[in-house]
Structure 1
Amino acid sequence: MNGPTASRPLWMDGHMAPVPDEIDAVDLPVTGALPAELAGRYFRNGPNPRPGEETRHWFSGHGMVHGIRLRGGRAEWYRNRWVRTRQFTHGAQLVGAGFEVDRAAVTANTHVIPFNEKIYALIEVGFPYELTPELDTVGPCDFGGRLTSAMTAHPKEDPRTGELLFFGYGFVPPYLTYHRLSADGELVESREIDVPGGTMMHDFAITENHVVWLDLPLVFDLELVERGLMPYRWDDGYGARLGVMPRDPERAGEVRWFDIDPCYVFHVGNAHEDEAGRVVLDAARYTPGDFDKVWATTGGLPAHETVTVASVQGVARLHRWTLDPSGGKVAEEALDDRGVEFPRHDDARTGLEHRYLYTVTGDSIVKYDLRSGSSAEHAPGPGLIPGEAAFVPAEGARGEDEGWLMSIVTDTSGDGSELLVLDASDLSRVASVRLPRRVPAGFHGSWIPDAR
């Protein structure tokens, strides 16, 4: 694979390059046997500029969702659609000349999730966009006018209550706002959280009784906006800390902050409370040096010809923080030294103790057993790059890893893509669906089961 150049950045080349159009295909070829109980859709979101458009950062392209429909052991269709946001259809800008903010003028390119019988394409700087099960765009959603901040691309659905917890961050006050949707989709709580300034807070975590904030030193810089760059930079002076906030609405503004070693986290694995009442957080952690490397490579800044896909995806390491709200102490522990990203778990364990995490490296899917300390890998094959692996539980599953992993795998040679289905218990290959086109490397996806 060729490295990025000044005229062809990494995300516009090879298996990361955008596709030029939207297509439909039916009766997709299947190798192996798709489990008959897999009835639903796998949707995966990612940035995809239109032909002729230039972007200065991998994160900046218009959102495109790729979808595969499975039912009865068959792959019925594939289709891909741009999310028709106001930025896509009208060229509207998030921030106007007078610094007014249009939260519907976004790219909606980061995640796609189901909630309360609706489907949302998400990006962290504005409103979510509702999609149909056929990937048509319904429009922006502000939950009846109650949402006045942005919405993170990584909300957390509480498996016990059915609530959706999320937040929005901003470059002007309020810098951080906490939100809670009821199980029936009503925005029932919004609350400002006091932080020193505007930072890129990409993810957060929840436990049964707490919210965990990541206040880390990637700060907003107006000068970078004026230079046409992604408006965030590393600031050693800001510091790095984690915050533990009670979910009790009567105490939702109370946060116990813990200073930690300098780092950045794009993606949390999960969090839970242990028997001693401590909060345990697992995440993919970048050291300052690792972050500089990935930010330069994906941000339109000068990069070396030797940069590879593995170095982009493989600079975060699985890490654990144990936070003691009563004693005020924090412990840090590296769980592995290999480079991984996009940690996922069984969503039924969100906020609860979890045994397994599923991540990806440059060329493999990795399963961590956090109880035994062991791990296993599945490499799809030479030149094949797996995307995020989403866990799909089996019907009536008794074991936490009883189910399947779904990942879109792309060939660096340009020879197309497939939807890979693995047995989550042992990472054995169950089936693959040959897709009618190459799917560019992207971000996050969800399995959306048919209603039962």
Structure 2
Amino acid sequence: MAGHFRSLPPQASQKFPPFPQFSGFMKPCRFEGEVQNLEVIGSIPLELDGTFYRVMPDPQLPPLIEDDPWFNGDGNVSAFRVQSGKVHFKQRYVRTEKFLKEKEAQRALMGKYRNKYTDAVEIKIRSTANTNIFYFNGMLLACKEDSPPYAMNPETLETIGLWDFNGQLPSLTFSAHPKIDPVTKELVCFGYEAKGDATPDICYYTVSPGGRFKEVVWMVSPVVAMIHDFAVTENYVIFPLIPQTCDIERMKQGGEHWQWNSEIPFYIGVLPRRGAQGSDIKWFRAPNAFPGHVSNAYEADDGQIMLELPISDKNVFFWWPDAQGNAPDPHQITSHLAQFAIDPKASNLDITPQIILKEDIEFCRIDDRFSMSKHRHIFCDLMDPRLGTDFLAIGPVMGGGHPPYNALGHFDEVTGKCEKYFVGPKHLVQEPVFIPRSLDAQEGDGYLLALVNNYELMTSELHLVDTRDFSKPQAIVLLPIRLRAGLHGNWVEGQELELVPN
């Protein structure tokens, strides 16, 4: 790697660049600390006992690349401990190699998103640990899909360090969306670009509840493309490839890691979950589309795999255009819930989606107790301009880069009904998590919890909504600070937090 690093000019300013992704509500927060007994409007059910963890890209210093995408900020993890009707808040940065080197230098050192050839110094593990925060085997795993995760203490949020599962991790990378099988409790995961930047290799693996690796399968992708999320059923794993492709020569010339390609299909890889070899994967082809976050997948009675996720006909990551520099107007991008019926034994690999919900949605969640099996209820973020969001008032302070959603959605696949909880005319919502009312409650009976941006006060709120009465909040928790747009998070039951890692 020696010789490709940028020379550092004298630093003239510590000010963040005047771009939308660093302005208004998206101005970096850079806060660490804790606040006990947050204000609560309404009431939090006493039976709720757990912690909502979420992570946001939050640069601690102005970036080396002035027009840096908001995806490239340092991972800052929030923990909302809910117990006895009260909420306590704690936040800490993940101490990645990047974070520590830049903290010592008091300036940014890492260059473009996932392009080591633009760095000012060598950073061996370039992770920002900013995409998902996941609990497994007694530890929090701060995930970024270009590297192994970082382990954190779930109570203190102290960084334990880079985590390779005690030397077992076979891949250089680890998904930002690992899945827990609700029956076996095993972790199902993968890494893409698994042998390094621009390599077509995918490594799939499963981990026992005690932390021991079981299945390990190496595969080759038809194109080097982003695989942000994936799906799991009882007998299969499914890999949706986003048509953002990578080229190592472009990176070496200082270009972007990702480039949109509208000329290739939307590939969906299907691999037997157990006892497979890499050659067993089938790459199904759908019309070019941008796949969003998987809601779920399951096997129907006839043996077909039913995969559900939002798709868009436009490049959702518009800040990474195609080879000609074409990118869509972000205001024209919408995603609709699609269902793919995939016959894993088929010889014809061409498939077509069916749109089952025409609302503009993303960040789908289900009742995780029904993950990998047939589900009925989907919860999501939703944008409905008819609900009355005052964009004239909030537009100047929203900031940019992140997609705007003004409601939480609850889609019942049996009735076809989509309920909407509108968060307010000067508010937008971030990704929700579903909390069952009890461990034995019926599917979808519980609460939805989501961070909400209050643009009038420029502060953040937590909204708790009862799925039995989706029209109004059960409780609104007020934060004295502003938390910029995050990516992903998860709810962890209090009894799980008592586990000791193996």
Q: How does 1:407-426 map to 2 (within 5 A)?
A: 407-426=450-469
- 1:228 to 1:335, Cα distance in 2 relative to 1, 3 A: farther
Q: Does 1:146 align with 2:190?
A: no
Q: Secondary structure at the match of 1:236?
A: coil
Q: Is the 8 A contact 2:294 2:310 kept in 1?
A: yes
> What aligned pairs does 1:364-403 form with structure 2 within 5 A after superposition?
364-403=407-446
User: Which of 366, 371, 376 is matched with 1:345 structurally?
Assistant: 366
What per-residue deviation string (whole Å, max 9, x for no partner) do you get for residues 236-277 of structure 1? 344322122111224564122221111121311110011100
1:81 aligned onto 2:100: no
**2: CA distance, partners of 1:352 / 1:269:** 11
Change (3 A) 1:187 1:102: farther
Q: Displacement of 1:196 after TM fit?
A: 2.5
Secondary structure of the structure 2 residue equivalent to 1:59: helix
Distance 1:153 1:126 in 2: 10
Deviating more after overlay: 147-156 vs 314-323: 314-323
Number of corresponding residues = 436
Matched, 1:10 2:20: yes
Partners of 2:78 and 2:92 within 8 A in 1: yes
AA matched with 1:239: P
Equivalent residue for 1:320, pick from 323, 336, 339: 339
Write the distance in 2 (CA, Å) between the matches of 1:164 and 1:230. 32
Partner of residue 66 from structure 1, selected from 78, 90, 109 = 78
Q: Does 1:436 align with 2:480?
A: yes
Structure 1 residue 227: deviation in Å? 6.4
CA deviations 1:121-151 (Å, max 9, x no partner) are 1110001111112211111100121213200
Q: Say what the alpha-carbon RMSD is for the aligned residues.
A: 2.7
For 1:90, the aligned partner's letter is K
For the 8 Å contact 1:265–1:285, the answer to whether it is kept is yes
- Provide the rounded CA distance (Å) in 2 between the counterparts of 1:229 and 1:406: 39
Aligned residue in 2 for 1:199: 225
Matched, 1:40 2:50: yes
Matches within 5 A, 1:16-415: 16-53=26-63, 54=66, 56-75=68-87, 77-91=88-102, 104-132=125-153, 133-147=155-169, 148-170=171-193, 171-173=197-199, 175-222=201-248, 224-226=250-252, 230-251=256-277, 253-287=279-313, 289-291=314-316, 293=318, 295=320, 311=331, 315-328=334-347, 330-361=351-382, 362-415=405-458
User: 1:360 and 1:407 mapped to 2: Cα distance?
Assistant: 9
Letter in 2 for 1:355: R
Q: Is the 8 A contact 1:104 1:140 kept in 2?
A: no
Q: Indicate the SS of the match to 1:144.
A: coil
- SS of the aligned residue for 1:15 comes to helix
- On the 8 A contact 2:258/2:320 being kept in 1, the answer is no
Residue ranges of structure 1 left out of the alignment (5+ in a row): 1-5
For 1:429, the aligned partner's letter is P
CA separation of 1:98/1:366 partners in 2, compared to 1, >3 Å: closer, same or farther? closer
What do the CA deviations read for 1:404-450 (whole angstroms, capped 9, x no partner)? Answer: 11100011235311111111233241112111201111111111221
| Contact kept in structure 1, 2:69 and 2:319, CA below 8 Å | no
Alignment partner of 1:409: what SS? strand
Q: Is the 8 A contact 2:446 2:467 kept in 1?
A: yes
The amino acid that maps onto 1:56 is: D
Deviation, structure 1 residue 163: 0.9
- What's 1:3 paired with? none
Q: Which has the larger radius of gyration?
A: 2
Q: CA deviation at 1:17?
A: 2.3
Distance 1:252 1:61 in 2: 34
For the residues of structure 2 that align with 1:25 and 1:302, how far apart are their CA atoms? 45
Give the distance between the partners of 2:255 and 2:428, measured in 1 at CA. Answer: 28
Query: Residues 256-315 of structure 1, C-alpha deviation per residue, up to 9 Å, x if partnerless?
Result: 22211111213111100111000001101121x34364756xxxx9999x86xxx38x62
Q: Residues 321-361 of structure 1: CA distance to partner in whole angstroms, max 9, x if unpaired?
A: 11112334534101222221111111111111111111112
How many Å apart are 1:109 and its aligned residue? Answer: 0.2
TM-score (norm 2): 0.81
* Residues 189 and 205, structure 2, Cα contact 8 Å, conserved in 1: yes
**Which runs of no fewer than 5 residues in structure 2 stay unpaired?**
1-15, 103-108, 383-404, 497-502
SS of 1:79's equivalent in the other structure is: strand
CA gap 1:196/1:78 in 2 versus in 1, 3 angstroms = same
Report the equivalent of 2:105: none
Identical amino acids, percent of aligned pairs: 29
